[in-house]
Amino acid sequence: MPTDPVRAIVGEDATREVYETVYRQLGLDRPMWEQFFVYLRDVASFDFGTSIRTGQPVLQDIVHVLPATIELATFAILFGAGVGIPLGVLAAVKKDRWQDQLIRIFSLMGHSMPIFWTGMIGLLIFYAALGWVGGSGRMSQFYIGLVPERTNFLLIDSALAGEWEVFRSALNHIVLPASLLGYSSSAYITRMTRSFMLDQLGQEYVTTARVKGLSRRQTVWRHAFGNIRVQLVTIVALAYGALLEGAVLIETVFAWPGFGQYLTSNLLIGDMNAVMTCVLIVGVIFIALNILSDLLYRIFDPRTR
């Protein structure tokens, strides 16, 4: 989608003079390296420019959309890892038995069903038909604007303000999209956990533990599981990163005013300041997650100390 940042501002019908003026105002007539250094200087002072679409400083937009996505992705990864890891371990322990086959089907489904489709079906069943969960958005329309914005994490803000009704509404709204997202990433986590675990169960120290008189369950959790933690941290961190940047589809289906939606809609209209900032943030998130998982390695594996 080739977009012209100048056209994005001035519109299709602008005269040549207007176009040229804006072109120069944006500094696009200057050499590439100079433009780049100007950009770096601005970024260093936290000036990310203004978004054309919203007319607000990009940073201010981000402060609103990113927490919404972090909230969603965090719940999703808690669900995904909380379901995926135990299922993966179970599948490894019961390799080739019916439990393993069942888990394989479950995770294959999670992997293959498109998330926008499960999102719509989920809304149809759990919201429209059963009424167990809230519909789209972060909370009921009724509560919007009721809670003072401090962190922009709705659950935290509402708890801080002591608005428990809003908190409950927010929780009600996040459950469905988060568990659907979590389900799709649990598919991957389950498969990886299974293969990590199978690897460990073939090791000699597992036999040692059995010889000592430990049951299979004790052997798996006390000995083998500790040895897959490092690998699990890596894949869960990567899955979390993917959720933070790529929850566009579910955000669209659930009208969740998040980062993915913000990035995508700005990309489509060529809102360059916003897009570049978003890309930068995605990079920072991945680096931060990698540093975090490196730190966790040191805790989990004595050989890296």
Partner 1 sequence: MTSDPILDVQGLSLRYPGAAEPAVRGVSFTLGRERLGIVGESGSGKSTVGRAIMKLLPDAEMSAERMRFEGVDLLRASEAQMLKLRGARMSMILQDPKYSLNPIRRCGDQVAEAYRTHVRCSKRAAHDKAVAMLAAVQIRDPERVYGLYPHEVSGGMGQRIMIAMMLLTDPDLVIADEPTSALDVTVRLQVLKILDDLVKERGIGLIMISHDLNLVRNFCDRVLIMYAGRVVETLDARDLDRATHPYTRGLLAAQPRIGGPRAPLPVLQRDPSWTMEAPA
Phi, psi of 57 (to 5 degrees): -55, 135
DSSP-based three-state secondary structure for 133:
coil
74 vs 234 by CB, closer to partner 1 = 234
Q: What is the dihedral of CA 45, 51, 56, 59, to 10 degrees?
A: -40
Phi, psi of 269 (to 5 degrees): -105, 5
Separation CA 123–CA 281 (nearest Å): 31
Per CB under 8 A, the segment of 11-19, 69-77, 199-207, 278-286 that binds partner 1 is 199-207
87 binding partner 1? (CB under 8 A) = no
The distance of closest approach from Cβ of residue 235 to partner 1 in the complex, given in angstroms and rounded to an integer, is 18
98 binding partner 1? (CB under 8 A) = no
Helices marked H in 94-214:
98-112, 115-122, 154-160, 164-201, 204-211
Phi, psi of 285 (to 5 degrees): -60, -45
172 vs 227 by CB, closer to partner 1 = 227
273 vs 293 by CB, closer to partner 1 = 293
Residues whose CB falls within 8 Å of the CB of residue 74, separated by 6 or more in sequence, listed in order:
240
303 binding partner 1? (CB under 8 A) = yes
58 vs 197 by CB, closer to partner 1 = 197
**Stretch 227-256 residues interacting with partner 1 (CB under 8 A):** 227
Phi, psi of 3 (to 5 degrees): -120, 150
Residues whose CB falls within 8 Å of the CB of residue 238, separated by 6 or more in sequence, listed in order:
289
Q: How far is CA 244 from the centre of its chain?
A: 2
The distance of closest approach from Cβ of residue 84 to partner 1 in the complex, given in angstroms and rounded to an integer, is 22
151 binding partner 1? (CB under 8 A) = no
DSSP-based three-state secondary structure for 40:
helix
17 binding partner 1? (CB under 8 A) = no
Near partner 1 by CB under 8 A: residue from 203, 283, 287, 294: 203
User: Residue 256: is it exposed, middle or buried by C-beta count within 10 angstroms (0-12/13-18/19+)?
Assistant: buried
101 binding partner 1? (CB under 8 A) = no
Per CB under 8 A, the segment of 58-66, 114-122, 208-216, 258-266 that binds partner 1 is 208-216
60 vs 203 by CB, closer to partner 1 = 203
189 vs 209 by CB, closer to partner 1 = 209
56 binding partner 1? (CB under 8 A) = no
39 vs 300 by CB, closer to partner 1 = 300
36 binding partner 1? (CB under 8 A) = no
Tokens of 134: 């809230």
Give me the residues that bind partner 1 (CB under 8 A), please. Answer: 203-205, 207-215, 223, 226-227, 300-303
